[in-house]
Chains A and B, each alone.
Chain A
Amino acid sequence: MQPKDLYNPSPRYSQGILVEAGKLLFIAGQTALDEKGEIVGKGDFEKQAHKVFENIQSILKEVGASFGNVTKITIYVTDIKYLQPLSAIRVQYFGVMPPASTFVVVESLAHEEFFIEIEAIAVVP
């Protein structure tokens, strides 16, 4: 939803998402870890960001959901300079109805080599 008297951030995110209540899926903050627990894209923000979105996609698929079911994401990055590359990457995953979103710069994440972590909430069929 987009109130007329509020700044419109489309296509990067939505100011608000109104959904029919259903099953809720809470996705842990995802980082650039592969299935072996190894870091993907050390020193490379874009590679890490793509891996994070791929991990989220795997979790969504597990319950028969997709990016279209995601209602809210919270993005944690370790440097504000990652905002621009992230904006370009996120639109590749979310369609015409991107989720509500919060963007935060933090001092560090769980591992010093992580540049980005994204957690998500989805309402699944």
Chain B
Amino acid sequence: MSNRRATKDCINPKGVGTPLGLYSHGVSASCEKMLFISGQTAVDEKGKVTGKGDAKAQAEQVFKNLDKILKSQGASWDNVLKTTIYLTDIRHMKVVQEVRSKYIKRNYPASTLLVVSGLARPEFLVEVEAVAAL
């Protein structure tokens, strides 16, 4: 982990099926600080929506935002304990997972994925929030 104080263990016990994606069934952590990150959407630094109608482009902006927030606190994706992914359509799952796998390559966080009726703006297709231990 980028922060020497926090430790994180990914837990995938026998008897619980192999996770369906790049996540862990459970994560335990011992840490000094916790970072709660708001659900990120495809909004750039000027507050402008990017990738209208394009779930992949939106996912790229979302993960870029999460990455910026982690880095601003000296953290990395290794510090992330849990992500929650909200999609407006299950068809976007594959491209969002592709983008996610570029950022999360090991020590997978616990994760929940949901399909919802809508997000804060009609043009948003994906929102991802995260909790990290530092």
Contact = CB atoms under 8 A, between A and B. Distances in A.
A15 B38 contact: yes
Nearest to B38: A100
Contact of B34 (A9, A19, A103): A19
A80 B118 contact: yes
Contacts of B65: 6, 15
B69 A17 contact: no
A105 B69 contact: no
Contacts of A63: none
Contacts, number: 97
B69 A16 contact: yes
Interface string B60-90: 0000010011011100000000001010000
Interface in B42-73: 43-47, 65, 68-69, 71-73
Given A102-B39, A102-B129, 18 more contacts: A3-B71, A14-B38, A15-B37, A16-B36, A18-B35, A19-B33, A19-B34, A20-B32, A72-B129, A72-B131, A74-B84, A80-B118, A80-B122, A100-B37, A101-B39, A104-B127, A105-B119, A106-B117
Interface of A: 1, 3, 5-7, 9, 13-21, 71-72, 74, 80, 83, 99-107, 121, 123
Nearest first, the 6 A-B pairs at minimum CB distance are A102-B39, A105-B118, A72-B36, A3-B72, A100-B38, A100-B36
